[in-house]
Amino acid sequence: MTKETQFTVGDYLAERLSQIGIINHFVVPGDYNLKLLDYLEYHPKLSEIGCCNELNCAFAAEGYARAHGISAAVVTYSVGALTAFDGIGGAYAENLPVILISGAPNTNDINSSHILHHTIGTHNFDYQMDIAKNLTVAAVALRRAHEAPRLIDHALRQAILQHKPVYIEVPTNMATQPCPKPGPISAVIEPETSDKASLEQATDVAADLISKSEKPLMLAGPKLRAAGAEKAFLKLAEALDAAVVVQPNAKGFISEEYKNYAGVYWGLCSTRNADKIGEFADFFIGAGTVFNDYTSNGYKVGPTPDQFIDSDYMHVSLPGYEFTRVKMDEFLSRLADKVSKKNATMVEYARIKPALLKYAPANPKELLTREELMRQIQGVIDGNTTLYAETGDSWFNGMQMNLPEGAKFEIEMQWGHIGWSVPSALGYAIAAPKRRTVIMVGDGSFQLTGQELAQMVLHKLPVIIFLINNRGYTIEIQIHDGPYNRIKNWDYAAFMESFNAEDGKAKGLKANTGEELEQAIQIALANKEGPTLIECYNHTDDCTKELVAWGSTVGATNARAPSADQ
Ligand code: TPU
Ligand code: MG
């Protein structure tokens, strides 16, 4: 491949992706994007990672954004993009700025009477853009080279400011077109700041409300990390010396070794008596919280509006007030300057704080139980580990894991797409190769996207996958059972090793007993040249009591009869 000397639209996009910090972009090639992929390859600081399909490609980019802050996925028109959209919806739900770049028909064809491949076979070329507009915060289609800088910069800036995915459509004849070189990158990445008057007034009102409360509790939500407000949140916790709880999809955002940490706040599924301290509190100071049907156990968990302050990226809600253009981190930090110590929740928590959950070792010769499995996985988690918990009982097992200082936790609870974990962890491990990435994934979830292990083999990523084989969709069984919740068993360990072909170093192992699991974990920890999958026996009914309790509330919520006034 030789590169033309003139600067083109493809060069512009490549340079901007590099300038915003992207090093690896995730791709599935197709004839509508091949030229563009060449230009991304020409860029000396960009390196592509191929994926098996576009769903996985979008999830891999999503995982890269979790570790690296921002990411890009490049796919072909329709057959690629429509598959990727599922993962892009996930990135939207999970507040991750993924740039989806799709190839598209030649500009001469878009306005002609031609029928094109990879389309529905009509002259409708709008449907892809229509979908993109619903799943992103900026969707642009490049049609003229001179507009490309403006449209690309707009999309990238929105991704960065809003922590959400964006869409850039690049026709197959566009990457080669001459285009001006980029201006300063600050135009794209410079952060927004709060309106000073609104910030002062919001923090005055909040400080007053807190001073009138007696037992304020701090609550971290899933948008806290995207807002980059963790430090400011802790500054406020220190100023108040209040107890700190987190929503399940914010687990790991606050160190579990922080002295005021009081667990996961999730009703019956809470850890470390977080629910009890929630009942004791008379005021909640939230940051980036979201109470959906799952995280509120069917709208039963959570503060009432009159006892709740919450801050989003760019606004603050207080009882009777709403302030726009107030940034979460600036709000929390400024509020910390205005409050004095109010530690009733911490005093109470010291009284009710339970000992950390710890399972006694099982007989090593006996069939694995869930508890023994979790006891041994807990042993793998050190301060350098990122633990992925897939949809299923892995969510509930994951909640109960104790994270040592430095350990991180990833979950996809708003979108809740089974099969997310393997491709997302691929992207994560590419972005953070020095961390130990560990996945807990059920058999049902794994069957959706397991082939992306191939990339972990290719890139020699020592990811450890605990495949929990309970022969079915146990989470669904707990919500509502039927024959559809039983699935075909696979030989998962053999599946893993099939990706080795002639050169891979992956290991696929089976553990039916505690002893076998211990040995498998030793082999996994020693395997630095590829992933290790450990297929772990787990009886279908041997699940957490939290899943059982949660499943019945979700089942009941789903089954509510239509309201009379609907
Ligand atoms: O621990 P366990 O057995 O519940 O996990 P496993 O085996 O991974 O089963 C997960 C079962 C499950 C389904 C079928 N959880 N949620 N669903 C519904 C669902 C269907 N399709 C997608 C893409 N995402 C979903 N969450
Ligand atoms: Mg299962």
Class of domain 196-352: alpha beta
Q: Please state, in angstroms and rounded to a whole number, the distance separating the CA atoms of residues 1 and 42.
A: 9
Ligand number nearest CA of 558 is: 1
CA 487–ligand 2 middle distance (angstroms): 9
Q: What is the pLDDT of residue 564?
A: 81
Pocket of ligand 1 (CB under 6 A): 391-394, 416-418, 442-445, 470, 472-476
Q: What is the pLDDT of residue 106?
A: 96
CA 418–ligand 1 middle distance (angstroms): 5
Delimit the domains of the chain by residue range: 9-189, 196-352, 370-552
* Prediction pTM value: 0.97
**Averaged pLDDT, 72-83:** 98
512 within 8 A of 368, measured Cβ to Cβ: yes
Q: Whose CA is nearest to atom 18 of ligand 1?
A: 418
* Greatest extent of the chain over all pairs of C-alpha atoms, in Å: 75
Q: Which atom of ligand 1 is nearest to the CA of 448?
A: 23
Burial class of residue 484 (count of CB atoms within 10 Å of its CB; 0-12, 13-18, 19+): exposed
Give the model confidence (pLDDT) of 301-343 as tens digits: 999 999 999 999 999 999 999 999 999 999 999 999 999 999 9
Q: Please state, in angstroms and rounded to a whole number, the distance separating the CA atoms of residues 292 and 301.
A: 10
Q: Is 470 annotated among the ligand-binding residues?
A: yes
Best substitution site from 59, 94, 391, 489 to test ligand 1's pocket, by max atoms within 8 Å of Cβ? 391
**Domain 9-189: homologous superfamily in CATH:** Thiamin diphosphate (ThDP)-binding fold, Pyr/PP domains (3.40.50.970)
Give the model confidence (pLDDT) of 326-336 as tens digits: 999 999 999 99
Query: What's 96's DSSP letter?
Result: -
195 within 8 A of 330, measured Cβ to Cβ: no
CA 468–ligand 2 middle distance (angstroms): 7
Is the pLDDT score of 1 beyond 70?
A: no
Q: Which atom of ligand 1 is nearest to the CA of 485?
A: 14
Sheet holding 532-537, edge to edge: 408-411, 385-389, 436-442, 464-469, 532-537, 507-511
Tally: H helices and E strands in the chain: 22, 19
Q: What's the chain's length in residues?
A: 566
**pLDDT band for position 4 (cuts 50, 70, 90):** low
Four-point Cα dihedral 124, 126, 127, 133, nearest 10: -170
Q: What is the pLDDT of residue 111?
A: 82
Percent residues over pLDDT 70 in the chain: 99
Q: Please state, in angstroms and rounded to a whole number, the distance separating the CA atoms of residues 420 and 269.
A: 22
Q: Concatenated DSSP letters for 482-548?
A: -GGG------HHHHHHHTTTTT---EEEEE-BHHHHHHHHHHHHH--SS-EEEEEE--TT---HHHH
Q: Please state, in angstroms and rounded to a whole number, the distance separating the CA atoms of residues 333 and 305.
A: 22
CA 393–ligand 1 middle distance (angstroms): 9
**Averaged pLDDT, 420-447:** 98
Long-range contacts of 522-525 (CB under 8 A, 24+ apart): 524/380, 524/464, 525/380, 525/464
Q: Please state, in angstroms and rounded to a whole number, the distance separating the CA atoms of residues 456 and 478.
A: 33
Q: Please state, in angstroms and rounded to a whole number, the distance separating the CA atoms of residues 498 and 530.
A: 13
Give the model confidence (pLDDT) of 391-416 as tens digits: 999 999 999 999 999 999 999 999 99
Best substitution site from 418, 465, 489, 558 to test ligand 1's pocket, by max atoms within 8 Å of Cβ? 418
Q: Please state, in angstroms and rounded to a whole number, the distance separating the CA atoms of residues 342 and 348.
A: 12
Q: Please state, in angstroms and rounded to a whole number, the distance separating the CA atoms of residues 254 and 137.
A: 28
Give the model confidence (pLDDT) of 124-160 as tens digits: 999 999 999 999 999 999 999 999 999 999 999 999 9
CB atoms within 10 A of CB 112: 12
Fold match, 9-189 / 196-352: yes
Q: Is 443 annotated among the ligand-binding residues?
A: yes
Ligand number nearest CA of 395 is: 1
Q: Which atom of ligand 1 is nearest to the CA of 418?
A: 24
Q: Concatenated DSSP letters for 350-414?
A: HHHPPPPP-PPPPPTTSBP-HHHHHHHHHHH--TTEEEEE-SSHHHHHHHT----TT-EEEE-TT
Q: Please state, in angstroms and rounded to a whole number, the distance separating the CA atoms of residues 327 and 323.
A: 10
Q: Whose CA is nearest to atom 9 of ligand 1?
A: 473
**pLDDT band for position 5 (cuts 50, 70, 90):** confident
Q: Is 472 annotated among the ligand-binding residues?
A: yes
CB atoms within 10 A of CB 558: 11
**pLDDT band for position 65 (cuts 50, 70, 90):** very high
Q: Please state, in angstroms and rounded to a whole number, the distance separating the CA atoms of residues 512 and 442.
A: 15
Closest by alpha carbon to 332, among 237, 222, 451? 237
CB atoms within 10 A of CB 236: 26
CATH of domain 370-552: 3.40.50.970
CB atoms within 10 A of CB 171: 25
User: Please, which residues have CB less than 5 A from ligand 2, an ion?
Assistant: 442-444, 470, 474
Can you read off the two tokens belonging to residue 284? 């909640």
Q: Please state, in angstroms and rounded to a whole number, the distance separating the CA atoms of residues 58 and 72.
A: 8
Q: What is the pLDDT of residue 263?
A: 98
Helix (H, G, I), strand (E, B) or coil at 80: coil
* Residue with the two structure tokens 């505690």: 514
Query: What's 214's DSSP letter?
Result: S
Q: What is the pLDDT of residue 2?
A: 58
Q: Concatenated DSSP letters for 25-58?
A: EEE---TTTHHHHHHHHHSTT-EEEE-SSHHHHH
Helices of type H across 54-123: 54-68, 81-93, 107-110
Q: Whose CA is nearest to atom 23 of ligand 1?
A: 417
